[in-house]
Chain A
Amino acid sequence: MSAVIETSGLGKRYRRLWALADCTLSIPAGHVVGLVGPNGAGKTTLLNLAVGLIAPTAGTIEVLGGAPAAGQAQLARVGFLAQDAPVYAGLSVADHLRLGARLNPGWDAGLARGRVGRLDLDPGQKAGTLSGGQRAQLALTLAVAKRPELLVLDEPVASLDPLARREFLADLMEAVAEQDLSVVLSSHLVADLERVCDYLIVLLGSRVRVAGPVDELLATHHLLTGPYRDPGTLPAGQQVITASHTDVQTTLLVRTTGQILDPAWTVSEVSLEDLVLAYMSQATGRRDRGGRRHLEVRK
Chain B
Amino acid sequence: MIWLTWRQARGQAVTAAAALAVFAVLLAVTGPHLASLYAASGITSCHGGTPCDTAASHFLSRLAGTSPYPVVYLLGIALILVVPAIIGMFWGAPLIARELETRTFTLAWNQSITRTRWLAVKLAATGLAAMAITEALSLTYAWWADPIGKARDLAASVPGLAHPFTGGPLSSWVFATSGITPLGYAAFAFTLGTAAGALIRRTVPAMAITLAIFAAVQVAMPLWIRPHLIPPERTVVSGPSFFESAGLSVGTLQATTVPGQPSAWILSSGAINAAGQPVSTIPAPCLSSSAGAVGKGAPPNAGACMASRGIREAITYQPASRYWPLQWIETAIFLALALALAGCCFWRTGRRRTRRAQSPSATPRQDTVAASPRRGSRA
Contact = CB atoms under 8 A, between A and B. Distances in A.
B106 A53 contact: yes
A39 B376 CA distance: 8
B277 interface: no
A207 interface: yes
A4 to B, nearest CB: 16
Which of the four size classes fits the interface of chain B? Answer: 35 or more
B33 interface: no
B29 interface: no
A100 B3 CA distance: 11
Contact of A21 (B114, B353, B363, B373): B363
Rank and list the top 10 A-B pairs by shortest CB-CB distance, nearest first: A205-B366, A40-B373, A82-B106, A103-B111, A76-B112, A19-B376, A58-B357, A86-B103, A39-B373, A80-B110
A239 interface: no
Nearest to B366: A205
Interface in A229-258: none
Contact of A143 (B110, B354, B357): B110
B216 interface: no
A40 B370 CA distance: 5
Interface of A: 11, 13-14, 17-22, 38-42, 44-45, 48, 51-55, 57-58, 69, 71-73, 75-76, 78-80, 82-84, 86-91, 95, 98-100, 102-106, 139, 142-143, 146, 204-207, 284, 298
A2 to B, nearest CB: 22
A87 B104 contact: yes
B107 A142 contact: yes
Interface string B1-39: 101100110010000000000000000000000000000
A21 B366 contact: yes
Main secondary structure of the interface of A (DSSP, over half): mixed
Contact of A95 (B7, B115, B354, B366): B7
Contacts of A95: 7
Contacts of B291: none
Given A17-B369, A44-B377, A102-B1, 14 more contacts: A14-B375, A39-B376, A52-B109, A53-B379, A69-B114, A75-B111, A79-B110, A87-B107, A88-B102, A95-B7, A99-B111, A104-B112, A142-B107, A146-B112
A71 B376 contact: no
A86 B104 contact: yes
15 contacts: A13-B357, A19-B377, A19-B378, A39-B376, A40-B372, A40-B377, A52-B109, A55-B353, A57-B356, A75-B114, A82-B379, A88-B8, A99-B3, A103-B4, A104-B112
A39 B369 CA distance: 10
B112 A54 contact: no
Interface string B298-325: 0000000000000000000000000000
B135 to A, nearest CB: 28
Main secondary structure of the interface of B (DSSP, over half): loop
B296 interface: no
A19 B351 contact: no
B364 interface: yes
Contacts of B113: 72, 75, 103
Contacts of A91: 7-8
B67 interface: no
Contacts of A102: 1, 3-4
B111 A204 contact: no
Interface string B342-372: 0000000001111111000001101111111
Contact of A39 (B1, B353, B377): B377
Contact of A72 (B4, B114, B368, B371): B114
Contact of B363 (A22, A89, A90): A22
Given A19-B376, A72-B114, A41 B370 contact: yes
Given A54-B351, A55-B352, A205-B367, A45 B114 contact: no
A103 B1 contact: yes
Contacts of B356: 57-58
Contacts of B363: 11, 18, 21-22, 58
Contacts of B112: 72-73, 75-76, 103-106, 146
Given A11-B357, A53-B106, A18 B378 contact: no
B377 A69 contact: no
B379 to A, nearest CB: 5
A168 to B, nearest CB: 17
Nearest to A139: B107
Nearest to A78: B110
Nearest to A205: B366
Contacts of B115: 69
Nearest to A96: B107
Nearest to A83: B377
A75 B114 CA distance: 7
- The residue in A51, A73, A205 that gathers the most chain B C-beta atoms within 10 A of its C-beta is A205
Contacts of A17: 364, 368-369, 372, 375-376
A19 B369 contact: yes
B281 to A, nearest CB: 63
B374 to A, nearest CB: 8
A135 to B, nearest CB: 11
A40 B366 CA distance: 10
